[in-house]
Chains A and B, each alone.
Chain A
């Protein structure tokens, strides 16, 4: 599906052109095929969900998208350019930020410092200048701190600014991780199961933040999620995967009524 034109969401947002396009991706780990010939695109300003049962290859897909895995077959196009293999620091600089399924924060550091690490790619002064907090380093830190403080304000975590994240409850740690990703001011935000292990209230909060990020900053979001209810509520378009293959793609309503998707989730009787 290659649509050049923009489209309108039911709630009145205009979704722009392609930000990322995955063309016939196949990813193998030795003999194991994690992803088989998958193609889909992500458009500017949309919330794109990837769902599927356990082991469907969703997280692998996310790793392909941010360049951490390089697929054996197929192409990844980002902002109209084909992307080759990259080094980690190049990955970080491309404007894609992500959160992890298992929280990956520095647990001994404060919330503020953790979110500050998200600004790393925006820091250009050398380590010596930074250590002495001299000249451009001072100016740079002030600018970065300003962005971080806006993120803290946005996520309403002022109370825990100075608290070591190891002491925070799980739901808040997830929020801090989202904060770190936001601090990088990404063009594309990848969320790996942002609501896993949360209670209903925390899920509602997180959904609210995801929608607000999309709405306020216009950030394009791709997310993996298990909770079907959440996905159907917040996503504009959904890709469904099963055993490494794409079995559905479309609006939440289309996907919900897709027979292959129903079979994958509910199981089919084998005669």
Chain B
């Protein structure tokens, strides 16, 4: 290594971890990316050189300490390097969601007063230039992919590689070293904008202490090693991606692989075979739905074999993973199943090598969870948020269950307030919300306890945390019973036919629900039954689809009725929405969480119709297309009643 920082002192910043990795693991692969059909690879030494060159280039362009630099792009090694290069200069990287529309982008760029933007390609640069007018702070844009950019005004646009080349020639190494030397645990490491289920996104400031300590704690918790490998495919603006690839990646020095394009992720996953894998429940659901659809098209022989061995695996697989006693015969049968079914299936899913897998963000259906665990994939749940540098609770090996989110992560303290809200205190707890002291004070108290905004309780026997719902969403029905919409919605979403559900009923007599069907699952059913449809809207209005969903709703009602505390949340009436809820229309967050208030306002006419007992409603809804144009769709929806069930106590009283 000819240039770049040398390891000095404590490992308390990401750039120092980089220096450590370059000298200790110099020849080990640090990043891989598939390009031109081949996996390109960079070892830690090369990465250190690339980052150093970019940092020098940024210095050369006049980047100051404490500046914010926005990064807009998909998962590519170059952007991960950019984050560390920016940190090396003492500035703060701010990754943005690449599918954000221009106005969302404008808000964030303005709020953090970004002086520089590093963007992926023409599409992203165009978005930045479009909003540039109102942003006085924005000075320079650096792009990675020069394609189509020939005719742009050069004065403010720079090629990433040219910036690096200028940096190499700049002779500013001494200045960079000086800036690196003054950094410590309290230096800001990254600023991430929360997706904002309510209102405007907030900039969460995370220090090196937050990131390095969290990365270290959980890497040790799960015994991550330098020869582990992960696939980076989740949005770079999301805290999970940052912790897994940068926090844990730099701490352990494992290899981060980036897919060729967002669409080839599944194929690339198979080729890389990550040993450590994270995906939201939605991903696992989608994958399972795919497997089931493909199995339905398989030969009867294969179907029988699949069913037989999967039924067996459901009994034995989780026990084997948890190290519980299993008979010799069962072990042999499981080994046979591994050769015939589980092994090939895991290979197809790209999860053959996965030692540790995590899912978080939403509740995962017990059947989905058990499916993966029965295959022998060590899938676990964690509970976390941006403000905590992800980790609040995690499930230790051997204590994995579908209905809890685990025990406090190393170094995390938990408490439940009188109102049932979960609070934590941890080394990962964020510094502040940027330029928003009121929100900071609301969320984090003087002693460092952070409010999660989720209602939950700690199980007496196991010490595991269980989350019920968002604290602010938990309300009361008109008769005083508890109203926890997410609890019911999750039950509904466990059916493959239902993609999304929104339950209403706060301060009302009864609950009603909106349903979004899953187009791939219901569409496949329609194809097999020769039902023609031309759009989501048409399929969603099909009477047979309505009847199927009604069955699901009634089954959920039955199971909700079992729970004395939540029995008021049974769904009396429902409709299948004529459009899919979409982040572009503001109905979901960019991380695909439901924005309840906005949906409530937007579809007020339908909600009113659900409550006034009418059987049909005609409605018109504005939609935003991917390119930002607006249009509207009209529909007449059928509203249906669903059967509700008496609770156990009521049944006894009736007899």
Q: Which residues does A use to contact B, with CB under 8 Å?
A: 11-12, 145-146, 149-150, 152-154, 156, 158-159, 161, 208, 211-212, 215-216
7 A-B pairs within 8 Å (CB atoms) are namely A145-B37, A158-B37, A159-B261, A211-B148, A212-B148, A215-B148, A215-B150
Task: Give the secondary structure class of B's interface.
Answer: loop
Known: A146-B36, A149-B36, A150-B36. A11 touches B151 (CB 8 A): yes
Docked Cα-Cα span, A236 to B35, in Å, equals 34
The answer to whether A12 and B151 touch across the interface, beta carbons within 8 angstroms, is yes
Q: Which residues does B use to contact A, with CB under 8 Å?
A: 35-38, 147-148, 150-151, 260-261, 263-264, 267
Contact pick for A159, options B35, B36, B148, B263, CB 8 Å: B263
The answer to whether A156 and B261 touch across the interface, beta carbons within 8 angstroms, is yes
Docked Cα-Cα span, A11 to B151, in Å, equals 8
**A212: chain B residues within 8 A (beta carbon):** 147-148
Docked Cα-Cα span, A146 to B114, in Å, equals 39
Docked Cα-Cα span, A245 to B263, in Å, equals 47
The answer to whether A158 and B264 touch across the interface, beta carbons within 8 angstroms, is yes
The answer to whether B261 and A152 touch across the interface, beta carbons within 8 angstroms, is no
**B38: chain A residues within 8 A (beta carbon):** 149
- Chain A: minimal CB distance from B357 (Å): 24
Q: Which residue of A lies closest to B145 (CB)?
A: A153
Q: Which residue of A lies closest to B262 (CB)?
A: A159
5 A-B pairs closest in CB distance: A149-B36, A159-B263, A149-B37, A158-B260, A158-B261
- Chain B: minimal CB distance from A111 (Å): 11
Q: Which residue of A lies closest to B263 (CB)?
A: A159
- Chain A: minimal CB distance from B635 (Å): 22
Q: Which residue of B lies closest to A161 (CB)?
A: B37
**A216: chain B residues within 8 A (beta carbon):** 147-148, 150
Q: Which residue of A lies closest to B259 (CB)?
A: A158
- Chain A: minimal CB distance from B38 (Å): 8
Docked Cα-Cα span, A150 to B36, in Å, equals 6
Docked Cα-Cα span, A159 to B267, in Å, equals 9
Docked Cα-Cα span, A216 to B151, in Å, equals 11
Docked Cα-Cα span, A215 to B261, in Å, equals 23
**B260: chain A residues within 8 A (beta carbon):** 158
Docked Cα-Cα span, A216 to B150, in Å, equals 8
- Chain B: minimal CB distance from A204 (Å): 9
Docked Cα-Cα span, A150 to B38, in Å, equals 11
Q: Which residue of A lies closest to B265 (CB)?
A: A159
The answer to whether A159 and B151 touch across the interface, beta carbons within 8 angstroms, is no
Docked Cα-Cα span, A215 to B35, in Å, equals 22
**A156: chain B residues within 8 A (beta carbon):** 261
Docked Cα-Cα span, A159 to B147, in Å, equals 20
**B37: chain A residues within 8 A (beta carbon):** 145, 149, 152, 158, 161
Docked Cα-Cα span, A208 to B121, in Å, equals 14
**B148: chain A residues within 8 A (beta carbon):** 208, 211-212, 215-216
- Chain A: minimal CB distance from B624 (Å): 15
**A208: chain B residues within 8 A (beta carbon):** 148
Docked Cα-Cα span, A154 to B151, in Å, equals 18
Docked Cα-Cα span, A255 to B261, in Å, equals 41
**B147: chain A residues within 8 A (beta carbon):** 154, 212, 216
Docked Cα-Cα span, A53 to B36, in Å, equals 41
Q: Which residue of B lies closest to A162 (CB)?
A: B267
**B263: chain A residues within 8 A (beta carbon):** 158-159
Docked Cα-Cα span, A216 to B149, in Å, equals 9
**B261: chain A residues within 8 A (beta carbon):** 156, 158-159
Q: Which residue of A lies closest to B260 (CB)?
A: A158
Q: Which residue of B lies closest to A153 (CB)?
A: B36
Please give 14 more A-B residue pairs, beta carbons under 8 A apart, in addition to A145-B37, A149-B37, A153-B35: A11-B151, A146-B36, A149-B36, A150-B36, A152-B36, A152-B37, A158-B261, A158-B263, A159-B264, A208-B148, A211-B148, A215-B148, A216-B147, A216-B148
**A150: chain B residues within 8 A (beta carbon):** 36
**A12: chain B residues within 8 A (beta carbon):** 151
Docked Cα-Cα span, A208 to B261, in Å, equals 19
Docked Cα-Cα span, A156 to B264, in Å, equals 11
**A145: chain B residues within 8 A (beta carbon):** 37
Docked Cα-Cα span, A114 to B562, in Å, equals 60
Docked Cα-Cα span, A146 to B36, in Å, equals 7
- Chain B: minimal CB distance from A81 (Å): 31
- Chain A: minimal CB distance from B440 (Å): 43
Q: Which residue of A lies closest to B37 (CB)?
A: A149
- Chain A: minimal CB distance from B546 (Å): 30
Q: Which residue of A lies closest to B626 (CB)?
A: A201
Docked Cα-Cα span, A153 to B577, in Å, equals 38
Docked Cα-Cα span, A51 to B260, in Å, equals 39
Docked Cα-Cα span, A88 to B268, in Å, equals 40
Docked Cα-Cα span, A248 to B263, in Å, equals 45
Docked Cα-Cα span, A159 to B264, in Å, equals 5
Docked Cα-Cα span, A208 to B37, in Å, equals 23
- Chain B: minimal CB distance from A166 (Å): 18
Q: Which residue of A lies closest to B149 (CB)?
A: A215
**A11: chain B residues within 8 A (beta carbon):** 151
Docked Cα-Cα span, A145 to B267, in Å, equals 20
- Chain A: minimal CB distance from B449 (Å): 47
Docked Cα-Cα span, A214 to B13, in Å, equals 47
Q: Which residue of B lies closest to A11 (CB)?
A: B151
Q: Which residue of B lies closest to A147 (CB)?
A: B36
- Chain A: minimal CB distance from B131 (Å): 22
**B150: chain A residues within 8 A (beta carbon):** 215-216
Docked Cα-Cα span, A226 to B357, in Å, equals 53
- Chain B: minimal CB distance from A33 (Å): 43
Docked Cα-Cα span, A150 to B35, in Å, equals 9
Docked Cα-Cα span, A158 to B74, in Å, equals 15
- Chain B: minimal CB distance from A19 (Å): 21
**A161: chain B residues within 8 A (beta carbon):** 37
Docked Cα-Cα span, A211 to B36, in Å, equals 22
> Which of A150, A153, A156, A208 has most chain B Cβ within 10 Å?
A153
Docked Cα-Cα span, A161 to B151, in Å, equals 31
Q: Which residue of B lies closest to A212 (CB)?
A: B148
**A152: chain B residues within 8 A (beta carbon):** 36-37
Docked Cα-Cα span, A158 to B151, in Å, equals 27
Docked Cα-Cα span, A168 to B261, in Å, equals 18
Docked Cα-Cα span, A137 to B289, in Å, equals 45
**B36: chain A residues within 8 A (beta carbon):** 146, 149-150, 152-153
Docked Cα-Cα span, A145 to B38, in Å, equals 11
Q: Which residue of A lies closest to B625 (CB)?
A: A201
**B151: chain A residues within 8 A (beta carbon):** 11-12, 215
Docked Cα-Cα span, A212 to B148, in Å, equals 6
- Chain A: minimal CB distance from B145 (Å): 10
- Chain A: minimal CB distance from B223 (Å): 35
- Chain B: minimal CB distance from A179 (Å): 13
**B267: chain A residues within 8 A (beta carbon):** 159
- Chain B: minimal CB distance from A192 (Å): 25
- Chain B: minimal CB distance from A216 (Å): 6
- Chain A: minimal CB distance from B36 (Å): 4
Q: Which residue of B lies closest to A208 (CB)?
A: B148
Docked Cα-Cα span, A36 to B148, in Å, equals 39
**A158: chain B residues within 8 A (beta carbon):** 37, 260-261, 263-264
- Chain A: minimal CB distance from B125 (Å): 15
> Which of A11, A145, A154, A159 has most chain B Cβ within 10 Å?
A159
Docked Cα-Cα span, A104 to B69, in Å, equals 48
Docked Cα-Cα span, A11 to B152, in Å, equals 11
Docked Cα-Cα span, A150 to B37, in Å, equals 9
Q: Which residue of B lies closest to A151 (CB)?
A: B36
Docked Cα-Cα span, A11 to B148, in Å, equals 13
- Chain A: minimal CB distance from B325 (Å): 45
Docked Cα-Cα span, A208 to B38, in Å, equals 26
Q: Which residue of A lies closest to B146 (CB)?
A: A216
Q: Which residue of A lies closest to B148 (CB)?
A: A212
- Chain A: minimal CB distance from B203 (Å): 33
Docked Cα-Cα span, A180 to B260, in Å, equals 21
**A146: chain B residues within 8 A (beta carbon):** 36
Q: Which residue of B lies closest to A150 (CB)?
A: B36
> Which of B36, B148, B151, B267 has most chain A Cβ within 10 Å?
B36
